[in-house]
Structure 1
């Protein structure tokens, strides 16, 4: 049972608060994000899966102190994540349900990745990144993010699980929205556990796939592709997807990888794809696209994560068009996908005499 999704949610920093109070509510975002992350880490949403429970009962179930747990629940409930009932017990809300491990739209690992450990620590060094251009993550930890992931196996598991959590929803939407059936070979660069490529292949029974990933990820992809029933149509390549670009693909997929890099590195990857795919292959880049103007958009905030954690950045449509053009592609269209993602579809610019 979950609380009524239509129940009003009291968010901090309302439009009728004085400007300085609204700024304070934004600056104090950790007062909201950290309690939610603690509750996610403790597995409170899973413990409430069978119905409401008292704080004392929950505390015993998740290994926490009742008083402190109750305070975190109260804070989270004030913004619609969990809800306190009249009898003092707590229950799930639709938002709290997304913190369950087994939820189809689970974002538990995203919450943990952003609010605990290495990526949380990097934000304490953001000013140095702004002043010097150095990665805040590297300043905080003494090594770049991806090098750190190679060493910190526990955090790598959280990071990779977070990357996979949003792929399933996107894959399910993308497969029927864009007709990939005309492409004989789909090449997914940095395709994680194969969720996206596998879902597309299920919709395209005549197509074959190639997935490029790091060796330890390839083995997980083999399992997932087998579950999807397409492993026999997929070639797995263990390697660095920024360097290892198999030739002969009819469509190349790059999801949420290029935003991790500066323009020079992203351009080098795109040029490798252009050479590998030849004159007829289509390119599908899945990224957020920064819109112009002062309005809110997730891309503008994700861009700060890129600033803090590596040398990457989010880009506007004109910036993508220019970057793709330098690599020998023409941006054909941008297709909105699961928010905040978009699919940039590009074709090779034919060379003279090609």
Structure 2
């Protein structure tokens, strides 16, 4: 499986930059993130899919002011996103290619989710969170994140699309690596549009699946599972994945859901899974796992998103082990996967 990246993030600087310049490069990250957000929102990468173009043509295609667009392109080109050619045209780089809508590894909606609107606004109130312990999102918007998603359909679409964008890469990695064909029924709790479950089942032709998702996502899942050729082997359950846990599964999948909750709520969900699965079901929890030490790891930064936006948090391996133990599971192993994810594999603990 893929190892985690270890390089720091921030604006590029030479190894001999003085400390104050390195700190400034971190504080000034918005000088990159916001031009990147603008270019992503305008769909510039899609316009350049066939090759480099002059700024005037790009601006005409996306409905932008050419001189202002040039400045944003130049800024992002300086950090490797987009490229300015000698003749003044701009083109895609491998990083910019990830911003296209139809690229194999899209992150377009991730960029928009993090840099536009509600989740960007919450970071302006992070000091409130550090003082009070309450999510900054509530201070900025007057309601919890998931309530806001229920009311803001446009942002909900971006959020849900972002959650699914990296799933295909992860699913393609896990399917041949772990023998999910050993489990007759796979239950995916909060499985989105079914990309993960469907890919696993495509590699396990003798298995069936159950996907639990909110009602408005079920139709998307039905379409995805049909395209993957496994719809006839999946039972779709419209409900709350934290409450409606189907019994009788041989393996339960929980991807990027438990980090949205505090320990008490996550423990409640895990106990429901333990009860539903009985003494024979395996549990696969897919989350970022915080390592010890001072080294860079995405989980340490994703944890700040959780701090700002809801009551959730990222957890270290020992914290996961303890949480699973309290729910009646024993952690067997932790496998690194597509960054920033890991797979925590647990079995029902023996009764004492």
TM-score by length of 2: 0.96
Query: Residue 43 of structure 2 contacts residue 100 of structure 2 at CA under 8 Å; is this kept in 1?
Result: yes
RMSD: 0.9
SS at match of 1:293: coil
Shift of 1:216: 0.2
Counterpart residue number, 2:307: 307
Matched, 1:153 2:149: no
Shift of 1:63: 0.3
Q: Relative contact order (alpha carbons < 8 A, sep ≥ 6): 1 or 2 greater?
A: 2
Query: Residue 14 of structure 1 contacts residue 22 of structure 1 at CA under 8 Å; is this kept in 2?
Result: no
Shift of 1:84: 0.3
Matched, 1:195 2:172: no
Matched, 1:349 2:349: yes
In 1, Cα distance between the equivalents of 2:317 and 2:11? 32
Shift of 1:13: 3.5
Query: Residue 11 of structure 2 contacts residue 26 of structure 2 at CA under 8 Å; is this kept in 1?
Result: no
Q: For structure 1, which runs of at least 5 residues remain unmatched after alignment?
A: 1-9
Counterpart residue number, 1:282: 282
Shift of 1:16: 1.1
Cα shift readout 1:117-150 (whole Å, capped 9, x = no counterpart): 1000000011111110111111100110111000
Q: After the TM superposition, which segments of 4 or more aligned residues of structure 1 sit over 2 Å from their partners?
A: 10-15
Q: For structure 2, which runs of at least 5 residues remain unmatched after alignment?
A: 1-9
Counterpart residue number, 1:105: 105
Question: Paired residues, what number?
Answer: 343
Shift of 1:11: 4.5
In 2, Cα distance between the equivalents of 1:229 and 1:51? 35
In 2, Cα distance between the equivalents of 1:143 and 1:241? 21
TM-score by length of 1: 0.96
In 1, Cα distance between the equivalents of 2:129 and 2:213? 29
Query: Residue 11 of structure 2 contacts residue 25 of structure 2 at CA under 8 Å; is this kept in 1?
Result: no
Shift of 1:12: 2.7
SS at match of 1:346: strand
In 2, Cα distance between the equivalents of 1:13 and 1:33? 17
SS at match of 2:320: helix
Counterpart residue number, 2:118: 118
